[in-house]
Each structure stands twice: as structure tokens, then as C-alpha cells.
């Protein structure tokens, strides 16, 4: 217990003057309000840190909300893309079916047209053959008639053949 030692309080003791100066220094600090200023500075610093923490929490909440919104938009976009893909596939199937139907229809029309042209060509060829046969028959008849008139002979087979030609031509 050095505090109760009488030598401590002797005026020539430097430790006494250091203690008095220290006590006086603390009194001056209290009177000047240094502790209040330091407390106010610490409170201001704490308030600033708290506001920064609050701001960081608010920004984090905004970022989480934005992330949630982006994920929802991504899911919606993926759903729309899948729906568009299904619609495009359905459209492609419909277009394929329509194209097949149109192709079959076109082929049927072309086949019918070709058959009509073939029938017309056959009819024309038949008409040309008939015309050539009629022309040949008429020339033969003319020659026969010319020969009959000049010889005045009658050939019964020739007469029957001429009758058959006129019946077959009609």
C-alpha cells in the first residue's frame, strides 16, 4: 500500500507531482468536455457505421428481390421459348401435311391432264387413221368405179366390200 506511505506526499517527491499533474490533466479534460466530444465522435461514427449497415442490408434485400425477379423472368422466358418451339413444330407438321396434300392434288391434276391429252391424242390419231382409211377407201372406190364404168363389168365381191366400208366408216 504505497498510497498510505508518508514519503509519497513529500513535496520533493517527483511521483507526487506526476500524480497531481495527471489529476489536473483529467480535470481539465472533464471541464473542457473532451470526454463528451470523444463520446459524440464515437456515437457519430457508430451511427454512420449503422447507417452503412442499414444501407447494405437494404441493397442486399433489393439484390435478392432483383435476383428473384430475374429468375422468374428467366423461367417465364424459358416457358415461352418452349411454347414457341411446340407451336413451331405444330406449324411445321401442319405445313408438311398441307404441302403433301397440295403435292398429291397437283400430281392428280397433272395425271388427269396427261390422261386427257393422251385420250385426245388417241382420239386424234384414231380420227386421222379413220380419215386416212376413208381417203384410201374413196380412192379405191373411185378406181373401182372408174374401172367398172370403163369395162361395164360388175364384181359382186367388190360391191360387198364397198358397202362394208361405208358402214364401218360411220
Domain membership flag for residue 52: yes
pLDDT average, residue stretch 27-50: 91
Give residue 10's pLDDT: 80
Domain membership flag for residue 61: yes
Whether residue 1 is predicted with pLDDT greater than 70 in this model: the reply is no
Domain membership flag for residue 125: yes
- State which residues form the domain around 133: 33-169
pLDDT average, residue stretch 46-59: 97
Number of domains in the chain: 1
pLDDT in tens, 121-132: 999 998 888 888
Domain membership flag for residue 1: no
Give residue 29's pLDDT: 86
Give residue 27's pLDDT: 92
Dihedral of CA atoms 122, 123, 127, 132 in degrees, nearest 10, equals 0
Give residue 41's pLDDT: 93
Domain membership flag for residue 19: no
Domain membership flag for residue 66: yes
Amino acid at each position: 500500500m504505497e498510497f498510505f506511505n508518508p514519503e509519497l506526499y513529500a513535496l520533493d517527491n517527483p511521483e507526487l507531482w506526476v500524480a497531481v499533474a495527471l489529476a489536473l490533466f483529467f480535470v481539465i479534460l472533464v471541464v473542457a468536455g473532451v470526454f463528451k466530444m470523444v463520446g459524440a465522435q464515437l456515437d457519430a461514427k457508430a451511427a454512420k457505421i449503422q447507417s452503412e449497415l442499414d444501407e447494405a442490408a437494404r441493397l442486399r434485400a433489393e439484390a435478392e428481390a432483383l435476383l428473384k425477379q430475374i429468375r422468374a423472368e428467366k423461367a417465364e422466358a424459358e416457358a415461352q421459348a418452349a411454347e414457341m418451339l411446340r407451336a413451331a413444330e405444330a406449324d411445321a407438321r401442319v405445313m408438311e401435311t398441307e404441302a403433301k396434300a397440295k403435292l398429291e392434288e397437283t400430281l392428280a391434276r397433272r395425271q388427269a391432264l396427261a390422261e386427257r391429252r393422251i385420250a385426245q391424242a388417241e382420239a386424234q390419231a384414231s380420227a386421222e387413221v379413220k380419215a386416212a382409211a376413208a381417203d384410201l377407201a374413196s380412192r379405191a372406190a373411185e378406181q373401182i368405179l372408174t374401172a367398172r364404168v370403163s369395162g361395164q363389168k360388175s364384181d359382186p365381191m367388190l360391191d360387198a366390200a364397198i358397202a362394208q366400208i361405208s358402214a364401218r366408216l360411220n
